[in-house]
Amino acid sequence: MTDLVATNETILVVGGGISGMTAAIEAAECGKDVVLIEKTPALGGRVSQLYKYFPKLCHPVCGLEINLRRLKAQKRLRVLTMAQVTNISGNAGDYSVSIKVSPRYVNENCTACGACAEAVSSEIDDPFQYNMSRTKAVYLPFNMAYPQRYVIDGSIIGTAEADQAKTACQYNAVDLDMSEETLELKAGAVIWATGWKPYDANKIQPYGYDRYANVITSVEFERMMDPYGPTAGKLLRPSDNKEAKNIAFIQCAGSRDRNHLTHCSRICCMASLKQSTYISEQYGDDDDAKSTIYYIDIRAIDRFEDFYKKVQDDPKTHFVKSKVANITEDEKTGDVILHGVDTEGYNRYDNSHDLCVLAVGMTPNANIKEVAADTHTDVSGFIEADEANGAIFGAGCASNALDVNRSVQHATAASLRAIQVVNRVASAEA
């Protein structure tokens, strides 16, 4: 790791999700030296946790595979996982960046055979499944993880289990003496692509995410559909593992709300429209299966209006123009009851559903001001395109609430900006 060479002609990309990977790959394909750092043990980010993308409803593993192939072909691109930026100093064309690298306890010898995981029994919450299920404390982050290398969770270090994992490994890949490292890198430009995280649904008190088992978030619902997810691809509601057929979606859960996020998170309408198609996919012609979308107004951004129209024509999907006021629970059945008044006729409703999905908003995943205090951000914490930011460029969801398509476009733009900076540095030095 210490052999990592970076100069002020290097582009540093922070965050290995779809935006960061795109920015890093495209800069490298243009012949630039790139260092891509990622906080978690594997690249892929939140897109790898999706079951399907809208609007084509194809599976993200496909796009991930293409990107990983492009990435592996680039000799100029170095990837550091389990690494976090702790400080950025300097100016455009001349940054010094401090990076903290956490120990993985597994080295490059790993063949991902899985013998180490079989040797241990301790379990931890699985972050890839949004903590909906548990995984072994020695684990591969997910099937398509890059690098394909196991991780030993810090919680079992120093125990007999860690030693069992080491003994189980035939390839001498377990290194329990690894410790946290700090690196100082030079960089000409920094692309900040740390992405988003779902808004904390516990803060939306009237919806009872913290109190009712059958109120879940949209990202959790997405995991349920994945054959490798916590419910193995079945829509099982958490309270009794019964198949959820009558499903409610609540839009603007935390977005467009001065008590929570003031911005519109843009993707949630399309996400719920997409997720409503999962119900037909799962249950076919079953008459009991239906989805109800409660909304203020549907913002099927840009060219996605036709997708909205298609979902509207689906007899299994119903729309109620109303922001739900609050949710209660039927204690006997575990069903959730949504209360409110609709705007088309002002009719009061108390609708019972098997499961309620909150279409939670997007909030920035990392606060760049903690490492580069002078960076300009908007009121929601997204990085603004401001000249005062020098050569620190936001890409993807670090800059705004964007869907995958726009994140990729935005990352390409950020990549071009960074390339211009390092080109200036190169011509000044020549």
Residue of the chain from 123, 243, 342, 378 that contacts other proteins (CB under 8 A)? 342
Shortest separation between residue 363's beta carbon and other proteins, angstroms:
16
Report the C-alpha gap between 316 and 338 in whole angstroms: 19
Closer residue to other proteins (CB): 65 or 210: 210
* 76: CB partners within 8 A, 6+ apart: 28, 31, 32, 33, 34
At 297, list the tokens.
């107004």
Shortest separation between residue 324's beta carbon and other proteins, angstroms:
7
Report the C-alpha gap between 394 and 150 in whole angstroms: 31
Shortest separation between residue 72's beta carbon and other proteins, angstroms:
46
> Is position 348 an interface residue for other proteins (rule: CB under 8 A)?
yes
Classify residue 170 by burial, with Cβ atoms within 10 Å: 0-12, 13-18, 19+.
Answer: exposed
Residue of the chain from 148, 228, 325, 369 that contacts other proteins (CB under 8 A)? 325
52, 59 contact by CB (below 8 A): yes
**Cα Rg, the chain, nearest whole Å:** 23
Shortest separation between residue 342's beta carbon and other proteins, angstroms:
6
Count of residues near other proteins by CB under 8 A: 21
Site for other proteins in 281-310 (CB under 8 A): 296
Report the C-alpha gap between 401 and 271 in whole angstroms: 13
At 325, list the tokens.
């006021």
Binding segment for other proteins (CB under 8 A), chosen from 112-120, 214-222, 254-262, 353-361, is: 254-262
Closer residue to other proteins (CB): 339 or 417: 339
Going by C-alpha positions, the residue among 278, 265, 273, 272 that lies closest to residue 308 is 273
Going by C-alpha positions, the residue among 44, 81, 41, 80 that lies closest to residue 62 is 44
Site string for other proteins, 177-216 (x = CB under 8 A): -----------------------------x----------
Shortest separation between residue 321's beta carbon and other proteins, angstroms:
8
> Is position 58 an interface residue for other proteins (rule: CB under 8 A)?
no
Closer residue to other proteins (CB): 181 or 330: 330
Q: Is 379 left (phi over 0), alpha (psi -120 to 50) or beta?
A: alpha
> Is position 29 an interface residue for other proteins (rule: CB under 8 A)?
no
Binding segment for other proteins (CB under 8 A), chosen from 27-35, 168-176, 343-351, 352-360, is: 343-351
> Is position 379 an interface residue for other proteins (rule: CB under 8 A)?
no
Q: How many residues are given for the chain?
A: 430
Residue of the chain from 35, 47, 120, 324 that contacts other proteins (CB under 8 A)? 324
Residue of the chain from 237, 256, 263, 410 that contacts other proteins (CB under 8 A)? 256
Going by C-alpha positions, the residue among 422, 424, 393, 389 that lies closest to residue 410 is 393
> Is position 318 an interface residue for other proteins (rule: CB under 8 A)?
no
Q: Tokens 């409660």 — which residue? A: 294
DSSP structure string for 45-70: GGGGG-S--TTT---HHHHHHHHHHH
Residue 364: strand, helix, or coil: strand
> Is position 252 an interface residue for other proteins (rule: CB under 8 A)?
yes
Closer residue to other proteins (CB): 121 or 326: 326
Q: Is 167 left (phi over 0), alpha (psi -120 to 50) or beta?
A: alpha
Binding segment for other proteins (CB under 8 A), chosen from 164-172, 180-188, 253-261, 361-369, is: 253-261
> Is position 343 an interface residue for other proteins (rule: CB under 8 A)?
yes
Work out whether the CA dihedral 65, 69, 72, 77 comes out positive or negative: negative
Shortest separation between residue 219's beta carbon and other proteins, angstroms:
22
Residue of the chain from 310, 339, 376, 417 that contacts other proteins (CB under 8 A)? 339
At 230, list the tokens.
């916590």
Name the pairing type of β-strands 348-353 and 336-341: antiparallel
Binding segment for other proteins (CB under 8 A), chosen from 99-107, 223-231, 324-332, 392-400, is: 324-332
Residue of the chain from 39, 323, 406, 410 that contacts other proteins (CB under 8 A)? 323
Which residues of this protein are in contact with other proteins, per CB under 8 A? 206, 252, 256-260, 296, 321-326, 339-343, 346, 348
